Amino acid sequence: MTESGQDPSPVKVMVVSDSDISRKLLTEVMESAPGITIAAKPINGFLAASRLKSSKIDVVVLDV
């Protein structure tokens, strides 16, 4: 809760990984945390960059 008594907006996270397993595990862990929303799960950096241009993402988790 914020001082005004309202819940803050969730943090929008993009999880980027070419590994299905890594992407799934990272997504599951983050979705279990309160206040986090998975906004996108692209499979590579090119798709992530394209998505970032059109989305309001707060955090990017990039598996390199």
Query: Do 58 and 14 form a contact (C-beta atoms < 8 A)?
Result: no
- Read off the pTM: 0.84
DSSP string across the chain: --TTSPPPPPEEEEEE-S-HHHHHHHHHHHHTSTTEEEEE--SSHHHHHHHHHHS--SEEEE--
Report the percentage of the chain scoring pLDDT > 70.
92
Q: What is the mean pLDDT of residues 29-56?
A: 96
Return mean pLDDT, the chain: 92
Q: Provide the number of structural domains found in the chain.
A: 1
Whether residue 17 is contained in a domain is answered as yes
Whether residue 1 is contained in a domain is answered as no
Q: What is the mean pLDDT of residues 42-64?
A: 94
Note down the domain range covering 46: 11-62
Report pLDDT digits (tens) over 2-13. Answer: 566 677 899 999
Whether residue 42 is contained in a domain is answered as yes
44: domain CATH number? 3.40.50.2300
Residue 46, pLDDT > 80, answer: yes
